Structure 1
Amino acid sequence: MTQPRIEIYTTRSCPFCHRAKALLGEKGVSYEETDVADPDLRAAMTQRAGKRSVPQIFIGGTHVGGCDDLYALDRAGKLDPMLQGAA
């Protein structure tokens, strides 16, 4: 099974962004990162996610939320199946 597309909207100075990327790194998955320091990119992220805060994470086109949401999925045993494209 192929890994779904993983997208993460971040800013450089965001500690939650660093934590979310660290977890994805631990899982050994690749992701596409978009720095939303640019107001137009943040506006696009806000429109797509419905939130202005970072990070905003999408797995296989599904909005999973931010850093705390990503860690909650992992604790619940739901993140690995999503990353493998099974969810």
Structure 2
Amino acid sequence: MSETPTVGTPDITLYTTAICPYCVAAKNFLKSKGLSWREVRVDTDPAERERMVARARRTSVPQIFIGDVHVGGYDDLMALHREGRLEPLLAGA
């Protein structure tokens, strides 16, 4: 499910696969925050997987980007949130 960007926040990009529980958890968390994102399925597009690996330097999913900032995976996203650093990033800081 691809959402439309939320006005005023940097674009959020999620690299995902269909059978990834952490991808679902990341999307549910973002949805609970009222955020939207662009989902890139790397299991259906080998070129996108290559782009994700080149960009994130990781092969696991999800890989989450807020604007040009590589957040990492779901655990990294939750750590950023717990540390109070997610909201400033979403505000473009």
Residue by residue over 1:19-63, the C-alpha shift from the partner in whole angstroms, topping out at 9 and shown as x without a partner, is 111111111111100000122211111011100100000001110
Superposition pairs of residues 71-86 of structure 1, within 5 angstroms? 71-85=78-92
Equivalent residue number for residue 33 of structure 1: 39
Question: Which 5+ residue runs of structure 2 have no aligned equivalent?
Answer: 1-6
Equivalent residue number for residue 17 of structure 2: 11
- The alignment partner of 1:71 has SS state of helix
Q: Which structure 1 residue ranges, 4+ long, deviate > 2 Å from structure 2?
A: none
Question: Which 5+ residue runs of structure 1 have no aligned equivalent?
Answer: none
Length-normalised TM-score, structure 2: 0.87
Identity over aligned pairs, percent: 53
- The answer to whether the 8 Å contact 1:6/1:57 transfers is yes
Q: Say whether residues 1:48 and 2:52 are aligned partners.
A: no
Alignment coverage as a number of residue pairs? 86
Q: Distance in 2 between matches of 1:25 and 1:74?
A: 14
Equivalent residue number for residue 26 of structure 2: 20
Q: RCO (CA 8 Å, sep 6+): is it higher in 1 or 2?
A: 1
C-alpha RMSD of the superposition: 1.2
Length-normalised TM-score, structure 1: 0.93
Aligned-partner residue type, residue 32 of structure 1: R
Q: Distance in 2 between matches of 1:9 and 1:61?
A: 14
